[in-house]
Structure 1
Amino acid sequence: MSKVIYGVNAVLEALNSHPELIEEIWLSKINLSGKKFQILEKAKKLEIPLKIISKPNLKPPKVPPEANTQGVVAYISEFSYAELEDIVKNWEDKKETPLVVILDQIEDPQNVGSIIRSADAGGVHGIVIPKLRSCDINETVIKVSSGSAFNIPIAKVNNLKYAISFFKEKNLWIVGLTHKTDLSIYELDLKQPLAIILGNEGRGIRKTILEKCDFLAKIPMRGKIESLNVSVAGAIAIFEILRQRYYI
């Protein structure tokens, strides 16, 4: 069954990274310039079916009534998940120190999309999500990620503990981000090969997953609030790793 994605950046990233997934594109001819014109030209070159509409804000089938499409809508086939081996290949091809993000039952598509966008910006080599009790890579995730979901390998696995063991065998250290520790993430050496685990919005990381971690680390806070949104915490962790690896 086709999925719908919309917005200039999301559709352009899909065209650049996975054009084979795109079944059809709808474009408003209003302000058909810049990135919208790039989409038009790429779609023509790739012989992707196009519909040019005179209305400024498209409302084709499956698009939510409240959606701001920016005049660009694409229908895509099911999202193409990667394998764990694809994540390994990504860091090997780039000859970089591995960095993987593992999401333990994160359910809000806004959070998943934001994490993917931060991971893409921070040079993460892959993301792992579980098949059960977790948000899939759906239309909302793709939109919130601004198309970053097409730029980074995302694997969906039956068992997160298996994935953790897989990365341990590849000599990655596993870091669980949790408040259940006194160790600050700023005290850790994050230049080594890493997989960082982010937990569910309410429950955090499951006990069985915490037990598989080599280190537990928290983001220290000085205000009255006791916790951060998981996507914010993930972004802070990713960019602290980036800082330690490349900017000190």
Structure 2
Amino acid sequence: MARSSHAMLTGVPPRSPKDTFITVYGRKPVLEALTDPRLIVDKIITADNARGGSLSAILAAAKDRGVPVQQATAHRVKVLAGNGHHDQGVLADVVAPKMRPLPDYLEELAQLPGDTPCALLVLDAVTNPGNVGMVLRTATAAGIDGVLLPRRGVPAIDPLVIKASAGVAFRAPVLRAATAAEGCAQLRAAGIRVLGLAGDASVSLLRDPLPERVALVLGNETDGLSDAVRAELDGTVAIPMRGGVESLNVASAAAVACYELLRRREA
């Protein structure tokens, strides 16, 4: 594929569509995106064998908003949607204005004074789309600067994630890296302390000091932090537990972490 003229002039490769758009598939979600005035829909792609009244409504809504419509084979639509069972022959690329590659965020942070705080979350192999969506909603509500969603090991932002976030996923401050471990390494190289949430940690998230620039890593719902990510941590912190409870659901742990970071920022 030819590079854009901007890329050739600057030497910076063009941003991947996966770091620019959220792909919505299925007829109802696509129609909802088209009829939501808060969302910018870049394009619609329909399967060349798609038929039906609901498709007509999608095409009419796209025409009303001036959204281009492209056709592709049914197989191509399934590949682009990343879901072979629920695309229903149509998808939409919706602009996610706060989603960007992690290096873009770090470059912007580097231009700020060194004492400028930042608070980030990293999801390490969190596989439940409902949990991902709830984390994005909570992090956005608490004003977290970014949530690192690696391209591998975490579900794509799909209709299940969007539903769990109550639509907030479209405007969440999502940062992208290839893997959680690679993202953690980039954060540490930029001077951000990376701390994993772990039940056996001796440092308390609620009581002990935290760095001004910190990223908290949330592990898998069952297995916790992966070995690859543990190798990239500066340390671990724990959420205090009482009443014999061993751990919290990852979305609940994220809520505690987000609002503790907000509390410290506003103190």
What amino acid sits opposite 2:219 in the alignment? G
Q: What SS does the aligned partner of 1:16 have?
A: coil
1:242 and 2:256 matched: no
State the partner residue of 2:42: 20
What amino acid sits opposite 1:181 in the alignment? A
Contact 2:137/2:172 (8 A) holds in 1: no
State the partner residue of 2:179: 159
Contact 2:40/2:94 (8 A) holds in 1: no
State the partner residue of 1:178: 198
Question: Where in structure 2 are the equivalents of 1:63-74 lying within 5 Å?
Answer: none
State the partner residue of 1:132: 152
> Which among 61, 71, 83 is matched to residue 101 of structure 2?
83
> 1:102 Cα shift?
0.8
> 2-side partners of 1:238 and 1:204: how far apart?
18
Q: What SS does the aligned partner of 1:137 have?
A: coil
Question: Where in structure 2 are the equivalents of 1:4-153 lying within 5 Å?
Answer: 4=26, 11=33, 15-16=37-38, 18-20=40-42, 46-48=65-67, 62=86, 75-77=91-93, 82-88=100-106, 97-153=117-173
What amino acid sits opposite 2:42 in the alignment? E
> 1-side partners of 2:143 and 2:28: how far apart?
24
Contact 2:123/2:217 (8 A) holds in 1: yes
What amino acid sits opposite 1:121 in the alignment? A
> 1-side partners of 2:35 and 2:92: how far apart?
13
Q: TM-score, normalised by structure 1?
A: 0.70
> 1:92 Cα shift?
7.3
Greater CA deviation, 152-161 or 210-219?
A: 152-161
Change in Cα spacing, 1:185 to 1:221, as seen in structure 2 (3 Å) is same
State the partner residue of 2:51: none
Contact 2:193/2:211 (8 A) holds in 1: no
Greater CA deviation, 186-195 or 106-115?
A: 186-195
> 1:180 Cα shift?
2.2
> 2-side partners of 1:155 and 1:229: how far apart?
22
> 1:145 Cα shift?
1.0
Q: What SS does the aligned partner of 1:168 have?
A: helix
Structure 1: 4+ residue segments shifted above 6 A = 92-95
**Cα-to-partner distance string for 1:25-78 (whole Å, 9 max, x where unaligned):** x8xxxxxxxxxxxxx9xx95x4349xxxxxxxxxxx9589xxxxxxxxx95227
> 2-side partners of 1:91 and 1:200: how far apart?
28
> 1-side partners of 2:198 and 2:125: how far apart?
14
Q: What SS does the aligned partner of 1:171 have?
A: coil
Q: What SS does the aligned partner of 1:236 have?
A: helix
Contact 1:129/1:156 (8 A) holds in 2: yes
> 1-side partners of 2:105 and 2:138: how far apart?
17
Unaligned 5+ residue runs, structure 2?
A: 1-22, 47-53, 55-60, 69-84
Q: Aligned pair count?
A: 213
State the partner residue of 1:202: 222
Contact 1:105/1:129 (8 A) holds in 2: no
Query: Percent of pairs identical after alignment?
Result: 26
What amino acid sits opposite 1:82 in the alignment? R
> 1:186 Cα shift?
1.3
What amino acid sits opposite 1:154 in the alignment? V
